């Protein structure tokens, strides 16, 4: 009798959706994917309870549970692992997941600490600075105050880095343009780096 395949469930930030879905298709992963609101990173104090609820909802049916999150400003601190355990990438935040290695993130931070990263998922969900300004700040405080607010919020950053992704190949030119528009509006230097799938493959298929 063949061993039944483990029911693996991944609870991840929606910013990882394009990359995880593409990698899952390429590797024929049977893992179940659950995506949580991308905006949680702006309120990390609310994250533990929401992540905990998602874990508790599946703890009786999943054989293995993996979080598609890093430490995320202590946003997962306090989450209690179920009896079968909880696997978490050993990274500070999702940017390391996109870059593919902790050493690359550490090197980039050391060389350019004032870097604001944009990924396809962030831009597509309108969570880039321009999107936040247009769809969050402007309706609440008006255009002039919204522009001042987002510029003030990001005044200590010196560059915008767009992390390109093969998962967004069909949209890449529009996403790249949007990233450049952010840099131009905020008067920051623009750069682009190529993302890697290393962590996404590990999240889906281990180890």
Q: What is the pLDDT of residues 101-136, one digit of tens each?
A: 888 888 888 998 899 999 998 998 899 999 999 999
Predicted confidence at residue 2, as pLDDT, reads 46
What is the Cα–Cα distance from 201 to 23, expressed in whole angstroms? 6
- Residue 147 CB partners (closer than 8 Å, separation 6+): 133
Q: Of 54, 100, 57, 103, which is closest to residue 75 (Cα–Cα)?
A: 54
Q: What is the DSSP letter of 170?
A: G
Q: Is the pLDDT of residue 144 over 90?
A: yes
How many helical (H) and strand (E) elements, i.e. helices and strands, does the chain have?
10, 6
pLDDT score, position 166: 83
Kindly report the pTM of this predicted structure: 0.86
Q: Which stretch of 17-26, 34-43, 119-128, 147-156 has the lowest confidence by average pLDDT?
A: 34-43
Q: How confident is the model at residue 4 (pLDDT cuts 50, 70, 90)?
A: low
Per-residue model confidence (pLDDT) at position 1: 39
Residue 77 above 60 pLDDT? yes
Q: What is the pLDDT of residue 131?
A: 96
Over range 74-96, report the average pLDDT: 90
3-state secondary structure of 75: coil
DSSP, collapsed to helix, strand or coil, labels residue 73 as: coil
d(CA 147, CA 145): 5
């Amino acid at each position: 009798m063949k061993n039944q395949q483990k029911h693996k469930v991944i609870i991840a930030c929606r910013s990882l959706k394009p990359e995880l879905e593409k990698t899952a298709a390429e590797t024929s992963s049977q893992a179940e994917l659950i995506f949580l609101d991308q905006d949680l990173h702006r309120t990390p104090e609310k994250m533990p309870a929401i992540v905990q609820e998602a874990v508790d909802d599946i703890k009786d049916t999943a054989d293995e549970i993996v979080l598609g999150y890093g430490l995320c400003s202590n946003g997962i601190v306090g989450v209690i692992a179920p009896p079968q355990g909880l696997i978490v990438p050993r990274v500070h935040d999702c940017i390391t997941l996109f870059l593919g290695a902790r050493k690359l993130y550490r090197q980039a931070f050391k060389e350019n600490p004032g870097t604001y990263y944009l990924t396809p998922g962030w831009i597509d969900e309108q969570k880039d600075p321009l999107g936040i300004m247009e769809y969050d700040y402007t309706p609440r405080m008006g255009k002039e105050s919204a522009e001042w607010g987002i510029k003030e919020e990001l005044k200590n950053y010196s560059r915008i880095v767009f992390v390109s992704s093969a998962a967004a190949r069909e949209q890449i030119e529009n996403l790249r343009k949007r990233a450049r528009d952010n840099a131009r509006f905020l008067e920051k230097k623009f750069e682009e780096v190529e993302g890697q799938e290393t962590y996404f493959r590990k999240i889906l298929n281990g180890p």
